[in-house]
Structures are given as C-alpha cells and as structure tokens.
Amino acid sequence: FASCSDDMTLKIWSMSKVTPVHNLQAHNKEIYTIKWSPTGSGAMNPNATLLLASASFDLTVRLWDVERGVFSKYTCKTFRACLVGC
C-alpha cells in the first residue's frame, strides 16, 4: 500500500515491514492524493508496470515506478488543485 503526506513524501509500504519499502520525494509542496494504475488480473493491460500517480499543491501530477521506487520522469502540470482525501 502507499501513503502521501504534507511533508512532500510518498511512501510505499509492505504489509510485512514496519518501515517503508520506498520513501519518495519529488514534489515541491504537499502531496494531497495518490492513485494506483489499473494492472493485474481483470485490467485492460494486466502485465503493465505498476505505477502510482501523486498530485501535489505544486500543481503537478507525477508518475512513479513502484517496483523500482523511482520517479518515472513524467510530470503533468495542472492549473488548479482540488482537495481529495489522501
């Protein structure tokens, strides 16, 4: 699972560990929401790389490669931020 925070970090967790598997940071302001890519059984592209999108008050959406724990070098600029629970 994953979590986002006001400290501008995105954490990837394992159910079997008490510390994050990956502690990621690339945003310049707080991250307010995250969303998993649809992969796996039943998805249109079940073998796709598992990605996580994060949206921040810096008005960007960034895509993360979850397996490697790295920023996927894709950033989308937005024009407004909408408050959605994280």
Q: What is the pLDDT of residue 79?
A: 62
Q: What is the pLDDT of residue 80?
A: 59
State pTM to two decimals. Answer: 0.76
Q: Stretch 3-32: mean pLDDT, rounded? A: 92
What is the C-alpha separation between 38 and 66, in angstroms, rounded? 13
> pLDDT tens digits, residue range 39-82?
877 878 777 788 899 999 999 899 999 888 888 876 777 665 55
Residue 42: its H or E element: none
Strand ranges for the chain from DSSP E: 2-4, 10-12, 22-24, 31-36, 51-56, 60-65, 70-77
Ramachandran assignment for 59, one of left (phi > 0), alpha (psi -120 to 50 degrees), beta (any other): left
- Mean pLDDT of all residues belonging to the chain: 84
What is the C-alpha separation between 60 and 21, in angstroms, rounded? 24
